[in-house]
Amino acid sequence: MLKIFLFITETIFLLLLREQLDVALTYNSKPESKTFLEEVPSFRSEYLSSGKNSNDLFAEWDSMETVHALRDALAKYNRVHLIEADFDAYEKLRKLRPDIVFNVAEGFFKISREAQIPAMLDMLGIPYTGSDPLTLSLCLDKVRTKEVLSFYSIPTASFRVFDNPESIDDKGLSYPLFVKPVSEGSSKGIYESSMVKNFTELHREVERITNNYLQPALAEEFLDGREFTVAILGNGDDLNILPVIELKFDGFPEGALPVYAFEAKWVYDTRENPLDIFECPAKLDDELEKRIKDTCRKTFKVLNCKDWCRIDLRCDRNGIPNVIEVNPLPGILPDPVDNSCFPKAARTAGLGYDEMINQVLYNALQRHGML
């Protein structure tokens, strides 16, 4: 904890000493207009004309409350310019040519969506926070992520991928299974029905996902151990792992499954009635804490993450933490009442929201040789 405090103190000192920079904040905000889908032809053609519109379509995007909190944090030390990651973003970035971009844009559609703004910035030669297009696309594709983790002997649950219900072959898999879309975030497509106990239920979920999300379904063997999420700041060998958070499912409503699915994240857990399910710091023995942190460091490194990341893990029947999700664009809701894990871990480490955001910027400036 002392290392993190000294690191942040140095960050703020250096940010105050240097001249202000022009920082562009690239983002996608949840639409307030009811006609938004009609105004975006690509959305209309992909989701509406097929009748396959999902009710969690914009779950990954930020509220304007979050966007404004980010803007205010960055404006403490810099001149900030808001650029929405829409069809005009490239031209706006080309004309503005900011010194650096703080990127939290989730993008519009397809598996490349999180990489779209970073790819534009690479073309324009403008530095930015966070991971590059390859890492962002890789981490959004859960199957490719699991294949890379498996290659490097990083624990991850056994799995199978199904393009359609007719392609299902469950031989060699042990029920229960957990079924989810291959390339979604923010618990999109993950419901309590996602945990299946037999072939009939598996067929139902694969059909739901392939029809509603227009992508393959990933079926993993369900891990029934403790679940953790880990926030990381830094680069290379200089990584700061913030206090580990454990999800305590005994705080769920009676009858709810012990999974952090869409219902838990967006229905049960509200600002008016927040769930008390996050323990930070988690109560860990030395061996488990070391396993979790070593696994996260190795995962961060082999996936080439940069500046910040959140990694979700769940223990198997032998108590071994398995990686279940890698989030190089982590959620960062500013209100402490909201159960947003990255800011929660930062607060436990002694970092306020503004300090956390400026630490990410500092990491990127240092990585780009701008300090």
pLDDT of residue 106: 86
Tokens for 39, please give them.
Answer: 């105004």
Residue 31: band (very low, low, confident or very high) from pLDDT cuts 50, 70, 90: low
Mean pLDDT of 341-353: 95
pLDDT of residue 168: 92
pLDDT of residue 294: 98
Mean pLDDT of 58-86: 88
pLDDT of residue 89: 94
Q: How many CB atoms lie within 10 A of CB 337?
A: 10
Mean pLDDT of 134-144: 95
In this predicted model, which residue has the larger pLDDT, 252 or 363?
363
- Is 60's pLDDT higher than 80? no
Residue 11: band (very low, low, confident or very high) from pLDDT cuts 50, 70, 90: low
> How far from 119 is each of 24, 38, 115, CA to CA, in Å?
15, 27, 6
pLDDT of residue 185: 65
Q: What is the pLDDT of residues 77-109, one digit of tens each?
A: 999 999 999 889 999 999 999 999 999 998 877
- Is 125's pLDDT higher than 80? yes
Q: What is the pLDDT of residues 250-270, one digit of tens each?
A: 877 777 777 777 666 666 666
pLDDT of residue 271: 67
Q: What is the pLDDT of residues 163-221, one digit of tens each?
A: 999 989 888 889 999 999 988 765 677 787 888 999 999 999 999 999 888 889 999 99
Buried b (16+ CB within 10 A) or exposed e, 246-285: bbbbeebeeebbbbbbbbbbeebbeeeeebebbebebebe
Q: Is 99 exposed, middle or buried (0-12, 13-18, 19+ CB in 10 A)?
A: middle
Residue 52: band (very low, low, confident or very high) from pLDDT cuts 50, 70, 90: very low
For residues 221 and 174, the answer to whether their CB atoms sit within 8 Å is yes
- Is 46's pLDDT higher than 50? no
In this predicted model, which residue has the larger pLDDT, 55 or 262?
262
Q: What is the pLDDT of residues 304-319, one digit of tens each?
A: 999 999 999 999 999 9
Residue 371: band (very low, low, confident or very high) from pLDDT cuts 50, 70, 90: confident
* Global pTM value: 0.87
Mean pLDDT of 64-76: 93
Mean pLDDT of 338-351: 92
DSSP state of 128: B
For the domain 2-143+224-244+280-367, what is the CATH superfamily, name and number? ATP-grasp fold, B domain (3.30.470.20)
Mean pLDDT for the chain overall: 86
How far apart, in whole angstroms, are the C-alpha atoms of residue 99 and residue 127? 7
- Is 341's pLDDT higher than 70? yes
Query: In sequence order, what are the residues at sequence separation of 6 or more whose Cβ sits closer than 8 angstroms to the Cβ of residue 138?
Result: 144, 145, 148, 303
The residues spanned by each domain of the chain are 2-143+224-244+280-367, 161-216
Residue 2: band (very low, low, confident or very high) from pLDDT cuts 50, 70, 90: very low
pLDDT of residue 94: 98
